[in-house]
Amino acid sequence: MEKTNLCGMFVEEIIAAVAPLGLEKYRGRQLAEWIYQRYATDFAGMTNLPMDKRILLEEHFSVESVTLAAQEEAADGTTKYLLALEDGLAVETVLMPHKYGNSVCVSTQVGCGMGCVFCASTLHGVVRNLTVGEILAQVLYVNQMLSIKNEKVDSVVIMGSGEPLANYEQVLNFIRLCHEPYSMNMSYRSFTLSTAGLVPGIDRLAGEGIPVTLAISLHAPSNDVRSRLMPINQTYPIETVFAAADRYASASGRRVTYEYTLIAGINDSEEQAKELARLLKYRLANVNLIPVNPVPERGLFRPEKEKIQRFLQILQAAKITATVRREMGTEIRAACGQLRHKVLNGKSSQRSA
């Protein structure tokens, strides 16, 4: 008999699911706390539930979780986990310790269909969407790791593999569930959702009344260069993305973050910095400059330090809030998709050997 997974359900759904076993409402709340606050992945250890109910639960239900398939840790504490899902597929999750707390970057799809040229996540295409439980299980896994040090995840960046707005319902329910007091009680402001620029999804998000930070992967100030880097730009060109971001900013009152991966000789010139400054001048925006993780086989290299500084100065001189993202864990392939790609390649070369 197929068991029903409880991880990813709201408490009302858990209560309704377990009621036929004779479990009262407050038992449903206890189950939610075990799963979301104490990271339980089976029923045997849920000691405040009667033993006969635990046995019944074990027969009919499961708590979907992830297991560690590979891990790399950098000197600065950035840790990338390749986490196996129950069907054997795997996704990447990254823990980034900051002075102001622990941030975790989660994946929302296995692979990605967006085709951005600088990104390893898209090399094998999109395989499938993750469920609420599978996205949440990544945070629960990291929380469990952090609990050893008496710490927890303080903020979530939805910027791992996958386009979150292409898996809209699951991603939104994941955010809502993390916000619930019986779960992780996280404020909406502690979430950043990063999109390649799916305009209808941005507009839908603006209507939700959930003030997450919106991050737009921009990467170029002109349509010709952006289309070369991001095929999605042919469907939603820059001007439509900016218009949707402006609507989001005015609906949420939140500054939009523009991610800009700097690639030598492609989007790092002074003219491009000035054009970017012109585009953002009157917008509620800030810019996150990200020196590319080199992909030599695609001719993508990191600009020299002086060039990165010059790009930054031009933006700052135009009064645009801009920073260069702290180099975290480049030695552990912290850019999205690289660890999974390495492991997949290892497996395929083993098979063909």
- Using CB under 6 A, list all residues that contact ligand SF4: 112, 114, 116, 119, 121-122, 161-163, 196, 217, 336
Element (H, E) at 52: helix 51-60
Residue 79's SS3 state is strand
- Closest approach, Cβ 246 to ligand SF4, in A, equals 21
- Closest approach, Cβ 294 to ligand SF4, in A, equals 15
12 is catalytic: no
- 155, 144 in Cβ contact below 8 A? no
Going by the DSSP 8-state scheme, the letter that residue 302 receives in this structure is P
Integer Cα distance of 34 and 279 in angstroms: 48
Q: Which CB sits closer to ligand SF4, 78 or 122?
A: 122
- Closest approach, Cβ 267 to ligand SF4, in A, equals 14
Q: Which CB sits closer to ligand SF4, 14 or 215?
A: 215
Token pair 């009680």: residue: 185
Catalytic hit among 105, 116, 178, 336: 336
* 110, two tokens: 């296995």
Token pair 């590319």: residue: 292
336 is catalytic: yes
349-353: Cβ within 8 A, 24+ apart? none
Integer Cα distance of 95 and 81 in angstroms: 8
Q: Which CB sits closer to ligand SF4, 183 or 217?
A: 217
Catalytic hit among 64, 92, 134, 163: 92
- Closest approach, Cβ 232 to ligand SF4, in A, equals 7
Q: Which CB sits closer to ligand SF4, 27 or 341?
A: 341
Going 242 to 177 to 103 to 161, the CA torsion angle's sign is negative
Q: Which residues are catalytic?
A: 92, 336
